[in-house]
Amino acid sequence: METKKLLLTFKKKVVEKPIVYHLVKDFDLIINLYRASITEEEEGFMVLDITGSASKIEEGINFIVAEGVKIDDAQKAFRWDEAVCTSCGNCLTHCPVDALHIKDRTTMKVEFDQNVCIDCMGCIPNCPFGACGSIFQDK
């Protein structure tokens, strides 16, 4: 038995399908749902643990991907919109792990490292330009 944490995002039409039911029923998986939201907008999301045998987990993941669910590789709810970011840098002192950082002090361009981010949301209220957001929060 093993446990895998997943962050699923899905389009509206997938929302109506009983995905969790199928994971339990067809693949014999134990589901622990942490957080879920289905908004009027396009996307919904779900944060859950699935526990079961390695092969069943893989089958289950293949099933949900086939249903059109996106599995977020980084498993992060934080979203940084590079096109909206102005590289002002105000977020930098509010990011505890330097996921938002400046590599090159001659250009002062702000960059984001998804792998380092710990989803603390500290930067969100400190971005005057609205480049930082979370799928857990309305814009």
Partner 1 sequence: MKTYEEINEKIASKKAVVLTAAEIIDYVEEKGIEQAAKEVDVVTTATFGPMCSSGCFLNFGHSQPKIRITEAWIDDVLAYSGIAAVDLYMGATQLRHNDPANLDYPGEFKFGGGHVIEKLIRGEELQLFALSYGTDEYPLKEIRTRFNINDLNQATMVNPRNCYQNYNVAINTSNKTIYTYLGKLKPNMGNMTYSSAGQLSPLLNDPLYQTIGVGTSVWLAGAKGHVYSEGTQHASAVERTANDVPAEGAGTLALTGDMKKMNADFVRGVSFKGYGVSLALGVGIPIPILNEEILRKTTIKDRDIQAQVIDYSLDYPMKTGKVLTSVNYEELKSGSVNILGQDVETSSLSSYEKAITITEILKSEIQDGSFTLNKPYMPLPPNQGMKSMKVSK
With CB under 6 A as the contact rule, the residue among 88, 103, 125, 137 that binds ligand SF4 is 88
Q: Distances from the Cα of 26 to the Cαs of 18, 65, 71, in angstroms? A: 12, 15, 19
How far, in Å, CA of 76 to CA of 38, rounded?
A: 17
Tokens describing residue 32 = 């622990």
**Contact status: 125 vs partner 1 (CB under 8 A):** yes
With CB under 6 A as the contact rule, the residue among 37, 39, 75, 86 that binds ligand SF4 is 86
Q: Distances from the Cα of 6 to the Cαs of 3, 35, 82, 90, in angstroms? A: 10, 11, 24, 31
With CB under 6 A as the contact rule, the residue among 4, 71, 90, 136 that binds ligand SF4 is 90
Piece in contact with partner 1 (CB under 8 A), picked from 16-24, 30-38, 45-53, 84-92: 84-92
| Interface residues toward ligand SF4, by CB under 6 A | 78, 85-91, 94-95, 97, 99-100, 110, 117-123, 127, 129, 131-132
